[in-house]
Amino acid sequence: MVRRFRKVLIANRGEIAVRVGRTLHEMGKSVVAVYSEADRKALHVRMADEAYCIGPAQASQSYLRIEGILDAAKRSGADAIHPGYGFLSENADFVEACDRAGIAFIGPPARAMRQMGSKTAAREKMAQAGVPIVPGALCSTADEAVAAAKQIGFPVMLKAASGGGGKGMRRVERAQDMASAWERARSEAKKFFGDDTVYLEKAIVRPRHVEIQVLGDTHGNMVHLFERDCSIQRRNQKVVEETPSPVASPELIAKMGAIAVQGACAVGYFSAGTFEFLLGEDHNFYFLEMNTRLQVEHPVTEWTTGIDLVREMLRIAEGEPLGYLQHDVLRNGAAIECRIYAEDPATGFLPSPGTIVHLQTPSGPGVRDDSGAYSGCEISSFYDPLISKLSVWAKTRALAIAKMQRALQEYAVVGIRTNLGFHERLMQQSEFLDGRYDTGFIDRHEAELLPDSVPDKEGSLRLAAALALQAHLQARGATSTSAETGVPSAWVMTYRNQT
């Protein structure tokens, strides 16, 4: 039965709340925003039809508080909730609470979330479904982990059973390093996920991180929307994604896609979801985890397939069938996404929160900037320091890289440090241009990619432009410093904050 939603609450913040809200408005839905006290002036609040404060800045007291979000939904009269990504998006308890409250959850069923939410349980379930998994073991002590690692073979990875995003993860090269790595992994897993269970996997040498987007409806239809290569990572977190993968043949992707669909059907999945795989140099691939939500990097899939994933999630939640089969899903061209963060690559990519004094985003054919930021907004230390997701599309990978290079040069953020310079250097690195990279790429190329290790030609050009403009303004009687605040001009600050 098809049920039309009239009003949808977005249980999230930042760029994803803005992005989801845009599609909702295009579909004629009223948009309800929720916000913490720190986000009172956020862009997603300004763009919504109505908004409700749900608590203090701390996520645990606002965006992660199920009761507060459901209360806002009831007060607003929302008949559905879209969770975005992060926060409660993969929380089965939240899905069940929505069901009890009579509010539709725009996403997969709780039972599928539970089966795939624990990495250890997911590995077992996928192995039963015929999905290839990395050799591994669930251990109770560091000594058991050493014994398992010796049997599997070093190096190995310790991973949080209930986690993701690189938290609770340690690579162990030798038996004598296991005890300390075991304790650190368990401690981090407990801190971030409330569960200190960790498991062990064989470390695949120089792997690529390739994921398959799946999409299924409540009528039993399931398709895949091809792959995304997410191998450019720092601290086990993605910073650049692209499709198609530079190293995967259409035949390999068809095989991976069929396996992902098989795995999704095994748990009764519907809505958007992503199967993440490690792809070895021998082109063997292994199940890593399933993300039972919309991915951060979904724009590159939308670019190449022409399918609005948020719109499809809404249609599926309303009870509509997909309306297409696997052979109907086609893709065209190449897309790349760069995650623009308020962080300082020179200090190990540590966050750099603060106020954005001025923001200039790129545009033009084939350029998309998904953002929740604007000039004058604050990048809070309470949340992920993502400023935006800059993505581009072109007919070929080479043309897409050239377009990204141009877009990055147009991007300007004044007032905080960003990783824009890092992305500019990456897009000029020869091995990246050739598609020869893996998950350890950034670590191996620090000397070329990080600003404190190389002459900053881009910074020199920015400084030259800033000094030329300053001289021009002074000749007209202007100054390079605000008389009221004593801060440097925007152009000088641009140079300082992007080098």
Contact call for residues 47 and 19 (beta carbons, < 8 A): no
Through-space distance between the first and last CA atoms of the chain, rounded to whole angstroms:
56
Contact call for residues 157 and 203 (beta carbons, < 8 A): yes
**Helix or strand run (H / E) with residue 355:** strand 354-355
496 is catalytic: no
Structure tokens at 406: 């141009």
Structure tokens at 106: 């725009």
Euclidean distance between CA atoms 137 and 153, whole angstroms: 12
Region of residue 291 (left: phi > 0; alpha: psi -120 to 50; beta: else): beta
Residues 6+ apart with CB under 8 A from 54: 34, 35, 36, 62, 63, 65, 68, 69, 71, 72
Residue 264, CB-side half-sphere exposure with 13 Å CA sphere: 32
Euclidean distance between CA atoms 70 and 376, whole angstroms: 31
Structure tokens at 326: 């696997």
CA 14 from centre of chain: 12
Catalytic hit among 19, 65, 186, 293: 293
**Hey, which residues does 229 pair with through a beta bridge?**
210, 242
Euclidean distance between CA atoms 102 and 77, whole angstroms: 11
Residue 220 DSSP code: S
CA proximity to 288, closest of 349, 221, 236: 236
Contact call for residues 259 and 284 (beta carbons, < 8 A): no
Euclidean distance between CA atoms 405 and 382, whole angstroms: 31
Q: At 336, phi and psi to the nearest 5? A: -135, 140
**Hey, which residues does 388 pair with through a beta bridge?**
340, 371
Residues noted as catalytic: 293
